[in-house]
Amino acid sequence: MPILSYPNFLQAAERKLSDSGNTCGNHAVLTINLGRLAELDGILGYAAVDQIIQTIATQLADALNPEDLTGITGRHQVSCLLVNLLAHAHAVLAAHKITRILNSPFPLGRQNILLNPCIGVAYGCDKNSTIDLMMRNASLAMQQALQEKELIKLFVENPEDAYLTQLHLWSDLNEAIETSALHLQFQPQFSVASGKIESTEALLRWTHPHHGPIRPDKLIQVAEGSILMPKLTQWVLHTALRECSTYRKAGIDAGVSINFSADDLREPDIIDLTAQALNIWNIPSDRITVEVTETAVMDTNRNILDTLNHLKDMGLKLSMDDFGTGYSSMSRMLELPLDEVKIDMIFVRQMTTHPKHERIVDSIINLAHQLNLTVVAEGVEDIDTFRRLTELGCDVIQGYLIGKPMPLTDFIKTVSQQSFEFLQPALSEAGDSDQSIPGIMNSR
Ligand code: C2E
Ligand code: CA
Ligand code: CA
């Protein structure tokens, strides 16, 4: 059977389906991604890569039944229509057969290449299934396989299907960024030494028109790995710095911390995006902190270290977020140009009830201070935890006790009116008189 081009594949498939009385239920489409070949486009040229795909498609057609169809349906994509299946499971068996063929090293000149394929499988569900629908479903399953790094993924017809929801969220998020339907909330960070709010953490918020509020970590997951991520980061950077300049003009002398994801650190334009935002909003660069998670910075990719050094050279501060939950190596810690660590709230929230948690917090504070780093504790919800943290020498406190994340106007109102006198007894108990806070004393 010849290898068909995309339009010919669709036409031939439609004919096959109508010849069999459109009983799509006996058929399946397999869509095979050969994205690894994209790397060769720039090395060998399109014509040579097309030839390789033709060879691969021929191998696949030879392995299938003679009445099945094989076509090249995308730049690095081959699809097969399997007809007259005795059982749906036979489509999965065919997909396994194909992965065995494609997972053997493919000879190229004197070298072998690994194709790392992944396959989406979609059955025709009933008589009404068209080839278009089966192709769409196989393609969705293939995207899901790619994302989840699986070899074979089966399309499951279910409107609540996580991947479809994610796909819709992706386009809705794209629109939300373009129409500025997102907003930021600011959570105060209280400095023990000055008794004032010295900074805030900017946290992303999105209320989806149908799904309601979407958790920011979920939102980042939707954007990551796609062109949305740099767009979103650009939006966050500009909005955080603009709103920070608004509260600074309103008399709140606080900086701002912005979360960067692992994707952000790998983004080639991240330095330019940050420099542009700094130029426009004119906030002293040492009042801006970039928070990165342990896991993101433990990627030994050289570019990540270069990016962090670059941000640091621009005068920004760097903070290691969620400290204690990732898998830091001490040598990597020493390599990173850090200013701050944030102790993860899983240790903080249980430190007054679990002695082991308290010992971990104590050790992190000591280690950080040995390395001249500022220590922030997040998730501080009660005065006992606050008192213990200040006794242990923690520098900055963040959590519901000080303030929840708030929209800009609420933040300005709350912080302008709040004198934090309620913290004074805990601070006085926590230590000697040096611990009493100038900010609080001044406010009296
Ligand atoms: P994170 O950076 O660890 O942020 C701290 C989270 O703890 C926030 O959740 C905050 O609302 C919550 N929190 C603060 N104080 C307390 C407390 O006392 N008790 C409790 N139970 N929770 C507290 P949120 O806003 O849901 O953010 C979740 C995560 O989403 C963040 O974790 C961060 O990883 C990510 N995120 C948020 N905004 C952005 C952003 O603009 N960019 C990126 N890349 N990630 C973001
Ligand atoms: Ca954070
Ligand atoms: Ca955190």
| Cβ neighbours for 57, distance < 8 A, ≥ 6 positions apart | 3, 70, 71, 72, 78
Q: Is residue 383 part of a domain?
A: yes
- Residue 396 Cα to ligand 1 midpoint, Å, equals 16
Measured from CB, residues less than 6 Å from any atom of ligand 1 are 187, 203-204, 215-217, 220, 236, 259-261, 321-322, 378-381, 399-400, 405
Q: Is residue 436 part of a domain?
A: no
Which one of 237, 259, 323, 380 would you pick to mutate in the ligand 1 pocket, going by the greatest count of ligand atoms within 8 A of its CB? 259
pLDDT at 208: 87
Q: Is residue 439 part of a domain?
A: no
- Residue 72 Cα to ligand 1 midpoint, Å, equals 45
Q: Is the separation of the CB atoms in 240 and 202 below 8 Å? A: yes
Number of domains present in the structure of the chain? 2
pLDDT at 436: 45
Q: Is residue 440 part of a domain?
A: no
pLDDT at 3: 93
Q: For position 244, which CATH number holds? A: 3.20.20.450
Q: What are residue 181's phi and psi, to 5 degrees?
A: -85, 0
Strands of 6-68, DSSP E: 28-33
User: What pLDDT digit, counting tens, does each position of 215-259 carry?
Assistant: 898 889 888 878 889 999 999 999 999 999 999 999 999 999 999
| Residues in the chain with pLDDT values less than 50 | 159, 433-444
Ligand closest in space to the Cα of 379: 1
Ligand closest in space to the Cα of 238: 1
* Domain span at 20: 4-157
pLDDT at 435: 45
Distance (Å, rounded) from C-alpha 104 to C-alpha 291? 43
> 339 and 401 share a domain?
yes
Distance (Å, rounded) from C-alpha 257 to C-alpha 317? 9
Ligand closest in space to the Cα of 349: 1
| Cβ neighbours for 328, distance < 8 A, ≥ 6 positions apart | 294, 298, 320
Boundary (domain end) residue, out of 122, 157, 192:
157
